[in-house]
Structure 1
């Protein structure tokens, strides 16, 4: 492979340009024409139809079927595991340059199909145009970035040698990885966690989220077109309690890459720690498990910047991001009143509706379970604070929850502690910056956080003492960019694996030290 150009991120689409709007509308027309189709499993490159299906619905039109996807059982999970295990013997020996080239081809194909892939997420995940476009751009970034990262690691790293001895430090692939991906970034995280494992020479059994399996199938089409050999990635949608547990427990599983809730992540970690008959290694777990993320607004801050950052971070994709702002702590009465009032104004201006409308900022939550959970917090909000905007929902046609701001919430209240994963943000007041920082740190999570301040001393204090894996200064707390802000958090937010960063590929490798005596 020739020298690659320097990594740069895929630019976001400017939908104020009429040409781009028309292109996205055409992609939506194309995807709408394909709704309701049936999709097979893919095991060792073979398409496998089953008698039972997972049915994917459009959350904005809850009776509209996006697709029927074959549902795996344990027997098919075993077949997929055997295919991945057998393929590992050859794939792990494939030169890193060839593996990276496949990722780059997949990135190029994705660029060609960009609006189509985004349109699938608009229909299947309820993502408005900008959110879906950002998801696809991030998927492209992961492919481009991880290809380059693997090329940097393929020859190992330098170590010291001495007279009469040559020492080398090399990397080897791990084995079969089980990738369990989420529905909220159904392309970016699903693709990113898969290709990171693959470019490192591992094989994968991919179990996508049951609510968004069609976009994962479309990604499988891209991998096949890019030339990925059969058996390297095996597509296996199915119930977590049956198929997921079986794969996690399997003695040939070498590592699990999971993105999802805290409870499921802890369950996976516990199961992975137990040795199955025939298992000869400690399974590695790479987990990103959620957050309860805070924006701290100092009394010395740009209040308009703070309000804009809060609204975007809290309500982008209906707050269904592990990095979403769900807590705001403002220092001082005057600042609190000013920021709260402006956030209420901006929230009222948001356009909530069908994600297929290019002017929609926020659409739905993902399904009926999410709708029930999120709306249950309205009663909690009335008990713990006061709802100043929002607090309404309608699931007659889709799962629409209005963006909701709750004022005057105590630091230890449920709204300030529990991950809601929806468009609800709680406001709390602090008298000093030190108190605000203490409130920001008072959860079991530690994923993202932001500080809005013009006080250099306070900013430096936050850099040292704000206990999160991703800290943002004078901007919102969402929107990490691959290669620029490696993503992953502390405590119950996961293993701080730092997706999109220089250490991530290394989590999918094991090192080998070789010492040769020179005689």
Structure 2
């Protein structure tokens, strides 16, 4: 296994590379407006209610149509993850790591396409989109290598007359709630860290960037990740999100977003529910604030909208 190195960004100052990215953007634009299902236990699931993902530079353009799930579908996703955990937790860590390495290679091959969807769905420029995709690859490669390291015998303090062993055990089902501003990298990072360590997940992407969650869920299906290990659920945070965070079978929540919502997640997770056995763990990255520069050539009204 080669040592970990960060993925190198594309140089968009080179006309040929910039043209390839423009062509990729043009290609995904031809796919605008298609509908995408949830993925629960490896199966495509649709709902009566829908939510649309639009181009922030032109809100009239529908990037994709996604499902709008409620508590019923959230419960189905949770049960699928609970069931899949029983087998997934027994898979050796090195074998789980291979799914991450395979996914990283798929992302490399589809890099310009993934960039193009990100440019279209959240308004990133070429370099920022590519950096996001590179970070996703880095997470997969790094966490895969860490899994290999932790799968080996770990050093412990010896005691006379004792045979001690340190073994890392999976927790169970995790709920992954990523943000829209790093819609691919953070989603991939939080999800891959959970599954490579033997957990199963319900991924609820940001309502502003569901396409990026769909792309990763499809990539993981492509590399053969077993059904139910990663369940993709586009849903309202106030309804299905709260339901998943408060669910008695949820073992941990990985969240990135505002302080307001993060504190709400912490509070909800800290409240024991009937049938809950463990204290839930919350990892929350909160409170990013970004500035927007609008120059004299821009349409100020459009920028405000």
Give the corresponding residue for 2:147.
150
- Aligned to 1:57, the other structure's residue is in SS state strand
TM-superposition CA deviations, 1:31-79 (whole Å, max 9, x none): 1010000000100000011111110010000111001001111011100
Q: Which runs of 4+ in 1 moved over 6 A?
A: none
1 CA distance for matches of 2:83 and 2:184?
27
TM-superposition CA deviations, 1:339-364 (whole Å, max 9, x none): xxxxxxxx79x6976xxxxxxxxxxx
Residues 47 and 352 of structure 1: is their aligned pair in 2 closer, same or farther, counting only changes over 3 Å?
farther
- Is 1:239 the counterpart of 2:236 in the alignment? yes
Give the corresponding residue for 1:474.
none
Residues 171 and 156 of structure 1: is their aligned pair in 2 closer, same or farther, counting only changes over 3 Å?
farther
Give the corresponding residue for 2:250.
253
- Measured after TM superposition, the shift of residue 25 of structure 1 is 1.3
Give the corresponding residue for 1:192.
189
- Measured after TM superposition, the shift of residue 91 of structure 1 is 0.5
Give the corresponding residue for 1:227.
224
- Normalised TM-score (structure 1): 0.57
Of 4, 22, 25, which residue of structure 2 is paired with 1:25? 22
- Aligned to 1:208, the other structure's residue is in SS state coil
Give the corresponding residue for 1:393.
300
- Is 1:164 the counterpart of 2:71 in the alignment? no
- Aligned to 2:165, the other structure's residue is in SS state strand
Residues 249 and 224 of structure 1: is their aligned pair in 2 closer, same or farther, counting only changes over 3 Å?
same
- Aligned to 1:211, the other structure's residue is in SS state coil
Of 180, 198, 213, which residue of structure 2 is paired with 1:201? 198
Give the corresponding residue for 1:51.
48
Give the corresponding residue for 1:76.
73
Residues 291 and 64 of structure 1: is their aligned pair in 2 closer, same or farther, counting only changes over 3 Å?
closer
Give the corresponding residue for 2:122.
125
- Normalised TM-score (structure 2): 0.96
Counting matched residue pairs gives 305
- Any gaps of 5 or more consecutive residues in structure 1? 293-313, 319-346, 354-391, 402-519
Larger mean CA deviation between 177-186 and 11-20 belongs to 11-20
- Measured after TM superposition, the shift of residue 23 of structure 1 is 1.2
Equivalent pair of 2:42/2:228 in contact (CA under 8 Å): yes
Give the corresponding residue for 2:98.
101
Bigger CA radius of gyration: 1
Equivalent pair of 1:191/1:219 in contact (CA under 8 Å): yes
Of 3, 7, 11, which residue of structure 1 is paired with 2:4? 7
Of 55, 59, 63, which residue of structure 2 is paired with 1:62? 59
TM-superposition CA deviations, 1:241-280 (whole Å, max 9, x none): 1000000010000000000000100000000001111100
1 CA distance for matches of 2:80 and 2:57?
38
Equivalent pair of 1:259/1:287 in contact (CA under 8 Å): yes
Relative to its length, the structure with more strand (as a share) is: 1
- Measured after TM superposition, the shift of residue 155 of structure 1 is 2.9
Equivalent positions of 1:308-457 (< 5 A) are: 318=292, 393-395=300-302, 399-400=303-304
Equivalent pair of 1:41/1:71 in contact (CA under 8 Å): no
Residues 75 and 135 of structure 1: is their aligned pair in 2 closer, same or farther, counting only changes over 3 Å?
same
Residues 119 and 351 of structure 1: is their aligned pair in 2 closer, same or farther, counting only changes over 3 Å?
farther
TM-superposition CA deviations, 1:284-322 (whole Å, max 9, x none): 000000246xxxxxxxxxxxxxxxxxxxxx75xx3xxxx
- Measured after TM superposition, the shift of residue 160 of structure 1 is 2.0
- Aligned to 2:238, the other structure's residue is in SS state helix
TM-superposition CA deviations, 1:447-488 (whole Å, max 9, x none): xxxxxxxxxxxxxxxxxxxxxxxxxxxxxxxxxxxxxxxxxx
- Any gaps of 5 or more consecutive residues in structure 2? none
The structure, 1 or 2, with the larger RCO (C-alpha pairs under 8 Å, 6+ apart) is: 2
Equivalent pair of 2:257/2:288 in contact (CA under 8 Å): no
